[in-house]
Amino acid sequence: MMDDILKFAQHLIRTHSTADNITALNEAVLLVEKELKQYEINRFSSDGKPSLLIHNATPGIKHFKIILNAHLDVVQGNDFQFQPKIVDGRLYGRGAYDMKAAAAVMLMLFKEITNQLPYPLALQITTDEETGTLGAKKQVDEGYRGEFIITGECGSNFRITNKAKGVYKIKVTAQGMLSHSAYPWRGDNAIVKLQKAIAVITDTYPLPKEESYKTTINITQIRSDNETWNKTPDHAEAYMDIRYMPEDKHILSDLKKLLPQDVAIEEDPDYSFVSLNTDPNNAHVQSLREIGKKILKQDISFQTAHATSDLVRFTAVGCDGVEFGPIGENQHGDNEWVDIKSLEDYFLILKQFLLSIE
């Protein structure tokens, strides 16, 4: 089985399935479809990007006991990163850790075990997790649900991510009044207004100097429509990436109270995600943890993630789930890798977990 997993993972890595390469995204999805063509496959498209839901139930079923989730899209990389290589027990390549190898494990496990299960199991494949999780959202919006979802997202390294920060992408806009810049008293400088608003935000939510599990607001873009150096700008805007803890779910209203009325805050609904907060005492979580401890012969700890995943689209509609994946490092980096032995352990943990459910 490990040979099949590695072979398929390498096929996936060779596809340049970046967000802007729709052809390669479809090629990656087609590899999955060919491997699982004997099962029921529901196909979706969101902004031209494909996603799949493959399952062992009768056509039309939308509620599943367990959903395994994996994404096949990757961030940009150099050409050599799309040529997988195995060195010292590690599989290297773009997406090896984030998360094509985990996807290969889930696919091969689904293929081996699904006909043995007395309940509906689904494998969800998406191709836009890195750029907004709209594929997962589309499936959720069409009514697809899971009692429990496991995503093989990178970063867990055999820890159970049952909590993750929520996300808001916001635009802060300041309006002013035009004038010749030699006569600033005749205008109202929007950039100065925006600067003051940003200062209030950064004073209230200072950026941490080390890893910290608290709400953060990062200013990521500042722009103005003004292209003339000697004109007072009448418009300025900044984009901000907010990562909020579950207890700070009202942060947008808190920000609005901080800022003057002529500075507006606008949320981008496509890039706003609720926080993940799955009860560690959930029966499926406890089962996954105990099985993992037996196979790995070590404790399985819990963690809170700073980033998000497809999982939060299910969280938003009341479905429980966790991020749980194999060991690796350097996602989005030049030397991205996943540990091959951990893929074997990952397969065994998920297999025993699925078989233990009645």
197-220 pLDDT per residue, tens = 999 999 999 999 999 889 999 999
Contacts of 199 (CB under 8 A, 6+ apart): none
Q: How far apart are CA 351 and CA 354, in angstroms?
A: 5
Average pLDDT over residues 164-185: 95
Portions of the chain given CATH number 3.40.630.10: 2-164+277-355
Taking only the tens place, the pLDDT of each residue in 70-100 is: 999 999 999 999 999 999 999 999 999 999 9
pLDDT over 90 for what percent of the chain?
88
pLDDT at 132: 81
Of 175, 153, 162, 200, give the one whose Cα is nearest residue 286: 162
3-state secondary structure of 237: strand
Would you say how long the chain is, in residues? 358
pTM of the complete model beyond 0.85: yes
Tell me which CATH code domain 166-271 carries.
3.30.70.360
Rg (the chain; Cα; Å) = 23
Predicted local confidence at residue 273, as pLDDT = 85
pLDDT at 177: 96
Q: What is the mean pLDDT of the chain?
A: 95
pLDDT at 184: 94
Mean pLDDT (whole number) for 231-258: 93
Q: Averaged over 9-16, what is the pLDDT?
A: 98
Query: Alpha-carbon distance 319 to 149, whole Å?
Result: 8
pLDDT (mean) for 28-54: 96
pLDDT score of 274: 87
Could you identify the residue written with the tokens 């032995």?
341
92-128 confidence digits (pLDDT tens): 999 999 999 999 999 999 999 999 999 999 999 999 9
CATH second-level architecture of 2-164+277-355?
A: 3-Layer(aba) Sandwich (3.40)
For residue 39, give every residue at least 6 positions away whose Cβ sits within 8 Å of its Cβ, in sequence order, or none: 54, 55, 56, 110, 114
> 293 versus 260: which is more confidently predicted?
293
Flag whether pLDDT at 1 surpasses 90.
Answer: no
Q: Give 47 or 148, the one with higher predicted confidence.
A: 148
Residue of 262 and 24 predicted with greater confidence: 24
Beta bridge partners of 126: 71
Q: Residue 232: which pLDDT band, with cuts at 50, 70 and 90?
A: very high
DSSP letters spanning 122-186:
EEEEES-GGGT-HHHHHHHHTT-EEEEEEE--TT-TT-EEEEE-EEEEEEEEEE-B-EETT-GGG
List pLDDT tens digits, range 273-320: 888 999 999 999 999 999 999 999 999 999 988 888 999 999 999 999
pLDDT computed for residue 120 by the predictor? 97
- Residue 215 corresponds to which tokens in the numbers above? 């709400």
Mean pLDDT on 6-14: 98
Domain limits, CATH 3.30.70.360, in the chain: 166-271
What is residue 271's predicted lDDT score, i.e. its pLDDT? 83
Q: Over 90: is that where the pLDDT of 143 sits?
A: yes
Spatial CA neighbour of 323 closest among 309, 337, 342: 309
The alpha helices in the chain, defined as continuous H runs, are 2-14, 22-35, 101-113, 134-141, 190-204, 251-258, 283-296, 311-315, 340-355
Contact predicate 37/110, CB 8 Å: no
341-353 per-position pLDDT tens digit: 999 999 999 999 9
